[in-house]
């Protein structure tokens, strides 16, 4: 029997995420294409996926983040798609045939290594190029050290999907001593320091004395804590918006970080409108 073809199934919140991305990229391109000094404006998808996820409700194929970026006019001058899973890379490869006039580079493997060693060295300040990186991991796969490399270029802006649920359910426990060493290590690499403990835990007086316990949160506080962290390396960071599933469980916070005030303004306008429409 032929094996069933693998695909990514996405929920309503992912569609909202993709729409926010599309709006931001369209705004970014409008601004950048008017800058005559700029020698290139590139799109980096650090966690590209298949490019063609299927919706859970309607079982319909929709454009994933790489196709959203490719479908915009004016277009980017270069597209960098990074993806670790081979079967997803095979689907991404089809994009070259579908968009033959657009410069598409596909990198199979870990985005941390590929960004640091292959992509970011092409985007130095002297290159007179600009880029926007979409960072959309399932969990804590993006390392803080890579974020520092991105910020150091001064040419790359970031739209980050901060993984609230993966941190909350996958790492945090009511008491910090219940967190495994491996989970701590993952969050340390993502946060780039052990200071997340200060932001996500508080002291509480109990019958047994003072104890550290997880702070109560809606999910957005995690986004604000990470915004503070991003503010140490980027000049302009947006407030986070919270993305939830149909049961209102917090999944991700979307954030902008960059060195450009206009980028932040575009992102915050789009994010504010999204939050207003949700109310």
Ligand X SMILES: C[S@@+](CC[C@H](N)C(=O)[O-])C[C@H]1O[C@@H](n2cnc3c(N)ncnc32)[C@H](O)[C@@H]1O
Site residues for ligand X per CB under 6 A:
18, 47-49, 53, 64-65, 82-85, 88, 110-111, 136-138, 141
Range list of H helices, 118-244: 144-153, 164-170, 181-191, 196-200, 220-230
Using alpha carbons, select from 34, 39, 95, 37 the residue that is nearest to residue 65. 95
Query: Shortest Cβ distance from residue 104 to ligand X (Å)?
Result: 15
Query: Shortest Cβ distance from residue 47 to ligand X (Å)?
Result: 3
Query: Shortest Cβ distance from residue 63 to ligand X (Å)?
Result: 8
Please identify, using beta-carbon distances, which residue of 71 and 231 lies nearer to ligand X. Answer: 71
Query: How many angstroms separate the CA atoms of 66 and 79, rounded?
Result: 8
Using alpha carbons, select from 158, 167, 148, 168 the residue that is nearest to residue 236. 158
Please identify, using beta-carbon distances, which residue of 65 and 75 lies nearer to ligand X. Answer: 65
**Alpha carbon 123 to its chain's center:** 19
Please identify, using beta-carbon distances, which residue of 68 and 230 lies nearer to ligand X. Answer: 68
Query: Shortest Cβ distance from residue 56 to ligand X (Å)?
Result: 14
Please identify, using beta-carbon distances, which residue of 161 and 238 lies nearer to ligand X. Answer: 161
Query: Shortest Cβ distance from residue 109 to ligand X (Å)?
Result: 7
Using alpha carbons, select from 244, 245, 261 the residue that is nearest to residue 253. 244
Cα distances (Å, whole numbers) of residue 234 to 42, 155, 157, 264, 269: 19, 11, 9, 11, 19
Q: Residue 2 gets which letter from DSSP? A: P
Using CB positions, name the residue nearest to ligand X.
64
Please identify, using beta-carbon distances, which residue of 116 and 259 lies nearer to ligand X. Answer: 116
């Amino acid at each position: 029997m032929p094996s069933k073809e693998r695909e990514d199934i996405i929920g309503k919140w992912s569609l909202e995420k993709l729409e926010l991305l599309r709006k931001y990229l369209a705004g970014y391109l409008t601004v950048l294409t008017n800058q005559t000094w700029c020698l290139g404006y590139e799109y980096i998808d650090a966690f590209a996926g298949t490019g063609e996820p299927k919706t859970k409700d309607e079982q319909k194929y929709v454009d994933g983040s790489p196709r959203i970026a490719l479908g915009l006019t004016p277009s980017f001058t270069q597209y960098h798609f990074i993806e670790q899973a081979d079967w997803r890379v095979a689907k991404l490869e089809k994009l070259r045939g579908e968009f033959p006039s657009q410069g598409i580079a596909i990198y199979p493997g870990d985005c941390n290594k590929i960004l640091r060693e292959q992509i970011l060295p092409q985007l130095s300040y002297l290159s007179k190029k600009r880029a926007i990186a979409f960072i959309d991991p399932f969990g804590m796969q993006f390392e803080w050290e890579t974020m520092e490399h991105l910020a150091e270029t001064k040419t790359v802006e970031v739209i980050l999907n901060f993984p609230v649920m993966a941190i909350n359910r996958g790492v945090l426990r009511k008491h910090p001593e219940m967190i495994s060493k491996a989970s701590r290590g993952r969050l340390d690499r993502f946060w780039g320091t052990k200071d997340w403990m200060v932001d996500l835990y508080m002291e509480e007086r109990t019958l047994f004395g003072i104890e550290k316990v997880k702070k109560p949160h809606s999910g957005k506080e995690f986004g604000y804590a990470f915004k503070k962290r991003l503010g140490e390396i980027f000049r302009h960071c947006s407030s986070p918006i919270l993305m939830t599933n149909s049961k209102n469980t917090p999944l991700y916070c979307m954030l902008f970080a960059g060195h450009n005030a206009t980028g932040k303004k575009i992102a915050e306008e789009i994010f504010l409108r999204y939050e207003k429409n949700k109310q």
